[in-house]
Structure formats: C-alpha cells, structure tokens
Amino acid sequence: MVKFENDCVDCGKPCFPSCPYLKVPHFYCDKCKSEVDEGELYEFAGEDMCLDCIKDELPVVKAHDY
C-alpha cells in the first residue's frame, strides 16, 4: 500500500501546501507491513507485496526423478 506521510525536516520556515516534504509517498507491503523502496512493491493476489512475501506465497515445485 502507499501511504502519504509528513516527512517534515524542521527547516524553520512556515509550512506551505507546496512543500515537497509535506506529503511524501511511502510504500508498505500489505502482508508483512515492512516499508520498501519505490519500485520494490508488486501487485500479487490482489495485494501490494514485497518479493519476500510473494516468494512465501508461491508453491514449491519439486524436481522429478526420471
């Protein structure tokens, strides 16, 4: 999921709606709730997940003995 958070840096100036730190996107995995970098969140099974959680959801395929 994407949450927009206030990342104020306490610059000492008055806060303006155009401040780039007022609404900064943060990306969180819907399953483990960890924050990930932009571009490391993927839609899988109707949720936004990190790669580790997607790997946990996928079935393991065993090799066949021929």
Tell me the C-alpha distance between 51 and 60, whole Å. Answer: 15
Specify the pLDDT at position 51: 95
Tell me the C-alpha distance between 32 and 52, whole Å. Answer: 9
Q: How many CA atoms lie within 13 A of 14 on its CB side?
A: 2
Sorted by where each begins, the domain ranges of the chain are 2-57
How would residue 5 be classed by pLDDT, with cut points 50, 70 and 90? very high
**pLDDT tops 90 at residue 11:** no
**pLDDT tops 90 at residue 7:** yes
**pLDDT tops 80 at residue 66:** no
Query: Quick one: average pLDDT of 27-54?
Result: 95
Q: How many CA atoms lie within 13 A of 18 on its CB side?
A: 0
Full-model pTM:
0.76
